[in-house]
Amino acid sequence: MAALRSAPAPLVRTKFRVGDQVRIIAGRDKGKEGRILSIDSSKGRVVVEGLNMVKKAVRPTQQNQKGGLSDVEAPLNLSNVMVVCKRCGISRIGFTVNGDQKTRVCRKCGEEL
């Protein structure tokens, strides 16, 4: 496979994973923590459960016959969230390599993440 990729979308490399506990370090919900629901690596954004809520107008659907305004999570920029280490608090994510096994660890204390 020597084909060149056309239209190289600049993917933001992220060490985050869905389900990670993160803290918001900037903006309206600064200091709050939640779990990552989804990651958009092409835009460098994450959606964190229960945080950065915005009102969104929704059309009536089968489930929601009235429609109207609903609270939804707005995406946050990756640079505004940090992972929360169980042992030492907010930290950066690093890796240790053991043979061909790559393990995510806390860069401060070495705790596996």
Residues forming contacts to Zn ion in the complex (CB under 5 A) are 85, 87-88, 91, 106, 108-109, 111
Least Å from the CB of residue 107 to Zn ion: 8
Least Å from the CB of residue 113 to Zn ion: 8
Q: Are 94 and 83 in contact (CB under 8 A)?
A: no
Residues 44 and 89: their CA atoms lie apart, in Å, by 23
Of 46 and 84, CB closest to Zn ion: 84
Task: Identify the CA nearest to 20 among candidates 74, 73, 91.
Answer: 91
Of 81 and 85, CB closest to Zn ion: 85
Q: Please name the amino acid found at residue 63.
A: Q
Least Å from the CB of residue 40 to Zn ion: 26
Of 11 and 88, CB closest to Zn ion: 88
What's CA 1's distance to the chain center, in Å?
Answer: 32
